[in-house]
Amino acid sequence: MNAHPSNKPVEAIAAERTAKLFEPVQIGGLPVKNRVVMSPMTRTMAPAGVPGEANAEYYRKRAAGGAGLIITEGTWVPHDAAANEVDVPRMYGVEALGGWKKVVDAVHAEGTPILAQLWHVGQMKQHTVDGLYEAKGADYRPPRRVGPSGLFGGIGKPTTLDGAPALPADLDSIVEAYGKAAINAKMIGFDGVELHAAHGYLLDQFFWPGTNKREDKWGGPLQNRARLAADAIADIRRMTGPDFAISLRISQWKVQDFKAKNFNTPEELEEFSRIMVDAGVDVFHCSTRRFWDTEFGSDQNLAAWTKKLSGKPTITVGSIGMTGEHIDTLMGEGSNVASLDNLLLLADRGDFDLIAVGRGMLVNPDWANKVREGRIDQLNNWNPEVLKGLI
């Protein structure tokens, strides 16, 4: 056992320093053994939308590695316009649900709860390169897209008109699809669900005035722009009962606009969070590109503000334990292990209740155990090969 100059074992020093991260926490009726969450990370590695043995082992390793809570990669809800990638897993269909049952059982065998993230991309297109559609053949048709106002924007590109606004019948069917997906998740043993309402995907497209130009009951005032998500949450709560955990992932930034803001004042965020809490949300998963980015001219991030204004627990996420921001990383830039000093300071201050680790846990399935045991020097730097399933 290694010793510190203070004569305390290194493991004891690490345990004291990171103690806050390894306290138990409650999310609604769901007890969580520590505050470290596996962040949802899309890898498009479920062939034809069906998770297999490799997916079960992938999640099991992160549970065994000390994560207190697993949140799955985004899973398609059963709506014909939800998906834009064929190998992202589905939360519907006999084969897909059978595969997810194996994932849930493997994670639960490690004593860890797991939430299914429910996803609908809305107006977002496939991630395309020149010639992709042509390469798929003359009969290929891109997936149908549904959004609030027919507006689409790519990474760093302004929104442009690319379709018609969703009809009320579309929106009713989308609410129903979220409910069906949640029931499927509960039926096969998930402990709850998370609605992906961030980053410029469907629910966020309704929140953000940059993509929501509607003048009906789904547009205009914040209460209207929040309606689709609130209706989906309320439907899930009604059908799953009070003890099934519901998380809502939100963000200010969008892939269409990194500087976008849904909430320009604390009052707007408070109004939004109240709507969502009333609908049935148990925890807010607050995504920032860098967890230390702050809001409203303060020294607190989105998770800290949301916790204070909603009265609910929050999860902070964004470049935790990594030097580079995740989109820059995916575009080819490097990213190495970073200090946790600032994170631990904010956690001890009580700014948020849980932390979600993404790339760090992709390359270190035992990230939580290494941090708790003071084995920071054993953490691996980012390696993009993990996205190919090779490590």
Domain borders along the chain are 22-388
Distance CA 115, CA 276 (A): 18
Q: Which of 343, 337, 340 is nearest to 360 (CA)?
A: 337
Least confident of 131-135, 225-229, 231-235, 245-249: 131-135
Residue 337 pairs with which residues in a beta bridge? 322
Verify whether residue 201 is a known catalytic residue: yes
The β-bridge relationship of strands 245-251 and 354-357 is unpaired
pTM equals 0.93
Here the tokens at position 191 are 């402990």
How far is the C-alpha of 123 from the C-alpha of 211, rounded, in Å? 9
Neighbouring residues of 192: CB distance < 8 A, sequence distance ≥ 6: 27, 28, 30, 113, 115, 116, 185, 244, 245, 246, 247, 282
User: Is pLDDT at 1 greater than 80 in this prediction?
Assistant: no
Is residue 4 scored above 60 in pLDDT? no
CATH class for the region spanning 22-388: alpha beta
Contact 246, 278 (CB under 8 A): no
DSSP label at 216? S
Q: Of the listed 59, 92, 178, 201, which one is catalytic?
A: 201
| Averaged pLDDT, 1-30 | 78
pLDDT digits (tens, 9 = 90+) for 62-101: 999 999 999 999 999 999 999 988 899 999 999 999 999 9
Instruction: Identify the pLDDT of residue 159.
Output: 78
- 144-167 average pLDDT score: 82
- What pLDDT was estimated at residue 7? 63
What's the rounded mean pLDDT across residues 15-24? 92
- Who contacts 62 (Cβ-Cβ below 8 Å, separation ≥6)? 38, 70, 361, 365
* Distance from C-alpha of 122 to C-alpha of 128, rounded to nearest angstrom: 16
349-369, pLDDT tens digit by residue?
A: 999 999 999 999 999 999 999
Percent of the chain at pLDDT > 90 equals: 77
Instruction: Give backbone dihedrals phi and psi of 300, rounded to 5 degrees, phi first.
Output: -120, 145
**pLDDT > 90? residue 391:** no
